[in-house]
A = this chain, B = another copy of it.
Amino acid sequence: MRHEPYPAPHEGSRADCIPWCLGPTRDYAAWAGCVSAAAGDCSIKDGATSIRKLGYSPNPVAQALSSGSTQVIGLIVPDIGNPFWAVYASAIEAAAHLQGLDVLRCSATSDSTAFFLSHLEEMKVRGILLATDLPDEDRAVAKSLSTRLVQLSSHRPLDGTVSIASDLYQGARQATYHLRSLGHARIAFLGDLSGDDPRLAGWSDTLGVSLQAPGLAFQAEFTMRGGLEAMRSILAAPETPTAVFASSDAIAIGALHAIREARLDVPAHISLISLDDSPEAAFALPGITSVRQPVEDMARDAIAALLDEQHLEARLHMYPMTLVQRSSTASPAN
The residues of A with any CB-CB pair to B shorter than 8 Å are 1, 22, 57, 59-62, 64-68, 70, 72, 79-80, 83, 86-87, 90, 93-94, 97, 102-107, 119, 122-124, 224, 228, 253-254, 256-257, 260, 279-280, 282-285
Contacts and interface: CB of A to CB of B under 8 A. Distances in A.
A57 to B, nearest CB: 6
Nearest to A83: B83
A62 B65 contact: yes
Contact of A253 (B254, B257, B283): B283
Contact of A90 (B1, B70, B107, B282): B107
A289 to B, nearest CB: 16
B61 A64 contact: yes
Nearest to A66: B1
Contact of A1 (B60, B68, B94, B253): B68
A224 B285 CA distance: 12
Given A105-B103, A285-B285, A124 B61 contact: yes
Contacts of A279: 83, 224
A51 to B, nearest CB: 16
Given A122-B60, A124-B61, A86 B80 contact: yes
Contacts of A80: 86-87, 90
A281 to B, nearest CB: 11
A61 B72 contact: no
A67 B62 CA distance: 12
A325 to B, nearest CB: 17
Contacts of A90: 79-80, 107
22 contacts: A1-B66, A1-B68, A60-B122, A61-B61, A61-B65, A61-B70, A61-B123, A65-B65, A80-B87, A83-B280, A86-B86, A90-B107, A97-B106, A102-B104, A102-B106, A102-B119, A102-B123, A224-B279, A224-B283, A257-B285, A280-B280, A284-B285
